[in-house]
Amino acid sequence: MSVSDKRICVVGLGYIGLPTASLLATKGFEVHGVDVSQYVVDTINDGNIHIVEPDLDILVKSAVNSGKLRADTKPIEADVFIIAVPTPFIDGEENKKPNLDYIKDATNAIAPYLNKGNLVILESTSPVGTTDEVVARILQDRGLVVGEDIYIAHCPERVLPGRILVELVENDRVVGGVDETSTEVAVSFYEGIVRGEVLATSSKVAEMVKLIENSFRDVNIAFANELSMICDEENINPWEVIKLANRHPRVNILQPGPGVGGHCIAVDPWFIVDRAPELANLIRTARRVNDAKPEWVFRRVKKCAEKLRDPVIACLGLAFKADVDDLRESPALDIVRRLREENIGQILVCEPNIEKSEEFELSNLDTIIERSDIVLVLVDHKPFRKITAASLKEKIVIDTRGVIT
Nearest by Cα to 215 from 274, 175, 163: 274
Stretch that binds ligand NAD, among 153-161, 186-194, 222-230, 335-343 (CB under 6 A): 153-161
State the catalytic residues.
Answer: 210, 264
Stretch 321-340 residues interacting with ligand NAD (CB under 6 A): none
Nearer to ligand NAD, 59 or 305 (CB): 59
As beta bridge partners, residue 81 has: 9, 120
The residue from 6, 8, 9, 17 that contacts ligand NAD (CB under 6 A) is: 17
34 binds ligand NAD per the rule CB under 6 A: yes
One DSSP character per residue, 121-167 reads EE-S---TTHIIIIIIHHHHHTT--BTTTEEEEE----PPTTSHHHH
35 binds ligand NAD per the rule CB under 6 A: yes
Q: How far is the CB of 332 from ligand NAD (least distance, A)?
A: 17
183 binds ligand NAD per the rule CB under 6 A: no
* Separation of alpha carbons 288 and 293, rounded Å: 9
* Separation of alpha carbons 1 and 192, rounded Å: 13
Relative to beta strand 89-90, strand 97-98 is: antiparallel
Alpha-carbon distance values, 100 to 82, 97, 104, 107, 152 (Å): 16, 9, 6, 11, 17
Nearer to ligand NAD, 159 or 368 (CB): 159
The residue from 6, 154, 263, 287 that contacts ligand NAD (CB under 6 A) is: 263
Stretch that binds ligand NAD, among 9-17, 141-149, 173-181, 305-313 (CB under 6 A): 9-17
Stretch that binds ligand NAD, among 7-15, 25-33, 140-148, 299-307 (CB under 6 A): 7-15
150 binds ligand NAD per the rule CB under 6 A: no
User: 211: which residues sit within 8 A by CB, 6+ positions away?
Assistant: 125, 127, 128, 268, 269, 271, 272
Amino acid residing at 308: L
16 binds ligand NAD per the rule CB under 6 A: yes
Q: What is the pattern of x (binds ligand NAD, CB under 6 A) and - over residues 55-94?
A: -----------------------------xxxx-------
99 binds ligand NAD per the rule CB under 6 A: no
Amino acid residing at 244: L
Total residues at the site for ligand NAD (CB under 6 A)? 27
Residue nearest to ligand NAD (CB): 14
172 binds ligand NAD per the rule CB under 6 A: no
The residue from 8, 9, 11, 374 that contacts ligand NAD (CB under 6 A) is: 11
The enclosing H or E element of 98 equals: strand 97-98
Q: 385 with 368: CB under 8 angstroms?
A: no
Amino acid residing at 282: L
User: 403: which residues sit within 8 A by CB, 6+ positions away?
Assistant: 377, 380, 384, 385, 387
13 binds ligand NAD per the rule CB under 6 A: yes
14 binds ligand NAD per the rule CB under 6 A: yes
First to last CA, the chain: 58
E-strand stretches of 165-279: 173-177, 198-202
Nearer to ligand NAD, 51 or 280 (CB): 51
Q: What is the pattern of x (binds ligand NAD, CB under 6 A) and - over residues 109-148?
A: x--------------xx-----------------------
* Separation of alpha carbons 374 and 352, rounded Å: 19
Stretch that binds ligand NAD, among 6-14, 91-99, 237-245, 366-374 (CB under 6 A): 6-14
Nearer to ligand NAD, 87 or 372 (CB): 87
Q: 328 with 261: CB under 8 angstroms?
A: yes
Which residues would be at the binding site for ligand NAD (CB under 6 A)?
Answer: 11-17, 34-37, 40, 84-87, 102, 105-106, 109, 124-125, 157, 159, 161, 263-264
